[in-house]
Amino acid sequence: MAGSSHVRVPCSTTYGNAKSVASMFRCHRIPCRRARSGASITAMVPEQPARRSTLSRRGLLKGGGAVAFGGLSIAALKLPMFGIDPVQACPNGGAAKDVSADERELVISNWTGYIDPRKNPKSTLAQFQDQTGISVTYNVDINDNAEFYAKVKNQMRACEPIDRDMIVMTDWMAARMISLGFIQPLNKGNVPNLDKNLIESLQGVPWDPEREYSAPWQSGLTGIAYNADLVPEVSSFEELITRDDLKGKITLLSEMADTMGFFLKVTGADPVDFDDDEWAAAIDRLREVKESGQLLQFAGNNYLQQLSQGTLLACEAWSGDVIQAQYDNPNLKFVVPEEGLSLWSDNMMVPNYATHQTHAETWIDYYYQPEVAAKLAAWVNYICPVQGAQEAMLDIDPSLAENPLIFPDSEMLANTWDFMTLTDEKQSQYEGEWADVISS
């Protein structure tokens, strides 16, 4: 997603109409220490030669560079979302016999590059297997919410298993799948760390207020990135879509909630609470921007590669992607635009007819231990959803513990917004109108 919930910002932050995240990172893993005094923060260059992949959770979706609509086909955008009949209740509520006691196996589907290196014997996944005796099949086959939904929706609607015990979906898709009856409730007795350690800002979401069905894996922010070597700071979304010096060299995200949240903002509406007329005004503004030639394309992947190369000058961007890209190009900056930031989460859920639900819940509880969560966050660089992880990070990398894009403070969180939870009918309507614009 992208999708629905967002917040965060790294070092060298300038306060004013916009907060510009300057070069926190040089070319290695460790970001700069963030000073507490003064408006500007100077990045420190770490000496460690360690490198991590820049193929982030939202990064490498498909090979061969960025293509229109982020590599998504029009079918992938449209097929999963429209003309859906009310789902029929599955026998036994979609629950399968849990064979966890006999089969020490767990099958997970997650996004690309969203975990520390699995082959490392000290990785969080390896240590989970060692501690529990559960063998994990970890698939990186989620490239886009709608695309993944298209793969599994027919089986799920037919009350058939999808051969996975856990899937990770962005807020808006998580809400949709829960509302359609595709997701199993969690056994709360098996996930005490979730209830104890989930950060307050991710509690009480309207589509799962008690977190009965979902547990955030990581969270992030949607804002603006620009190449400071080529263009002055882009301080607002309005500037991004209107500035003459950016014409033909910007991208917007192919996730509807991310992009349309900003268009609702610039047309004077509230992304958390809007009506059909306000939506129509925002869609009309999007169409105008596309027809004006301001936009190079809609992107779901590799936009930061283009930004680094100069094909793009600025773009709508996800916070974790920018942090990772700064390892290779410190001229890439993340900005908190004047309109604020969108805060989103990607959520662990157990799909209907999963046969190892207890193991999935064991996985959730394990990753909600602060020490484990800190180790994961130190690698993926997204917002950590676990209370206590910031303190645990001090033993891993004190500079990361001070990174507001991983551990945002209340000031930053106050400048964030979410996308309104939609009924199934409204979701289908808005997705159709969105797809009509971006695919035309």
Mean pLDDT of the chain: 82
- Predicted local distance difference test score (pLDDT) of residue 301: 67
| 170-215 tens-digit pLDDT | 998 999 999 999 999 999 999 999 999 999 989 999 899 999 999 9
Question: pTM higher than 0.85, yes or no?
Answer: no
Residue 440 has pLDDT above 70, yes or no: yes
Assign domain 91-219+345-400 to its CATH superfamily: Periplasmic binding protein-like II (3.40.190.10)
Mean pLDDT of 356-384: 96
Average pLDDT over residues 155-161: 96
Give the model's pLDDT for residue 63.
29
According to the per-residue pLDDT averaged within each range, which of 27-36, 119-128, 413-422, 426-435 is highest? 119-128
Question: What homologous superfamily does CATH list for 221-343+425-439?
Answer: Periplasmic binding protein-like II (3.40.190.10)
3-state SS, one letter per residue, for the chain: CCCCCECCCCCCEECCCCEEECCCCCCCCCCCCCCCCCCCCCCCCCCCCCCCCCCCCCCCCCCCCCCHHHHCCHHHHHCCCCCCCCCCCCHHHHCCCCCCCCCCEEEEEEECCCCCCCCCCCCHHHHHHHHHCCEEEEEEEECCHHHHHHHHHHHHHCCCCCCCCEEEEEHHHHHHHHHCCCEECCCHHHCHHHHHHECHHHCCCCCCCCCCCCEEEEEEEEEEEEECCCCCCCCCHHHHCCCHHHCCCEEEECCHHHHHHHHHHHCCCECCECCHHHHHHHHHHHHHHHHHCCEEEEECCCHHHHHHHCCCCEEEEEHHHHHHHCCCCCCEEEEECCCCEEEEEEEEEEECCCCCHHHHHHHHHHHCCHHHHHHHHHHHCCECCECCHHHHHCCCCHHHHCCCCCCCCHHHHCCEECCCCCCHHHHHHHHHHHHHHHCC
Q: Per-residue confidence at 326, pLDDT binned at 50, 70, 90?
A: confident
Confidence band (pLDDT; 50, 70, 90) for 414? Answer: confident
Of 273-287, 389-403, 411-425, the one with minimum mean pLDDT is 411-425
Give the per-residue pLDDT at 88.
54
**How does residue 49 score in pLDDT terms, banded at 50, 70 and 90?**
very low
Fold match, 91-219+345-400 / 221-343+425-439: yes
Structure confidence by residue, pLDDT tens digits, 290-316: 999 999 999 876 798 999 999 999 999
* Strand 295-299 to 19-21 pairing: unpaired
| Domain boundary assignment for the chain | 91-219+345-400, 221-343+425-439
Greater pLDDT, 7 or 366: 366
Task: Provide the pLDDT confidence category of residue 405 given band limits of 50, 70 and 90.
Answer: confident
